[in-house]
Amino acid sequence: MGHHLFRRTKYRRSSDRYDDGAQYENYGRYDDNAPARIPRIPGAVLIGGIVIWSLLALGVWALVDPLLAWAAGMAGPATDLGVGFARWFGLGNEVSALRDAANVDGLVGWAVGPVHLLAKGGLILVWLAGSAALIALPIILRRRSRW
């Protein structure tokens, strides 16, 4: 015998020590009025997340310059490879003249500047958005648990 989910009736013995079962009505069921358990994120975890996020962004920041320099340096050998393939098909002189007229090395060097600016600016924006999301995470979790 244990606690039950039924209300007391007039047919029960008066010596029964159980009250009416109103306090057990919601036993085992979800109660909409009960406050939801809000997960708490310690401040040290948030600061650690921001530090790790910042270190990742700093690593990518340091890789932007070498990657763009590598891409700009590969333009000349890539065009030489293309001219070699064109010679294999018998179009070497025409393609070589076209490459010289297009000044591919100068064009790539000119294009690297804006790409560098966009890459670094985009990286800053992504870092800011990620940091703001990490800072707002506890607020988002609190609001989400209330829905």
- Along the 147 residues of the chain, how does pLDDT read in single tens digits? 555 555 556 555 555 555 555 554 555 555 556 555 656 778 888 899 999 999 999 999 999 999 999 988 888 888 888 888 888 888 878 888 888 888 887 888 888 989 999 999 999 999 999 999 999 888 887 776 555
Q: What is the pLDDT of residue 93?
A: 84
To 5 degrees, how large is the angle CA 113–CA 116–CA 117? Answer: 90
In angstroms, the CA 110 to CA 66 distance is 16
pTM for the whole structure: 0.59
Q: What is the pLDDT of residue 122?
A: 96
Start-to-end CA distance of the chain, whole Å, equals 39
Q: What is the pLDDT of residue 13?
A: 57
pLDDT in tens, 78-101: 888 888 888 888 887 888 888 888
Using alpha carbons, select from 6, 33, 1, 2 the residue that is nearest to residue 22.
Answer: 6
Give the contacts of 75 (CB within 8 A, at least 6 positions apart).
104, 105, 108
The answer to whether residues 130 and 53 touch, using CB atoms and an 8 Å cutoff, is yes
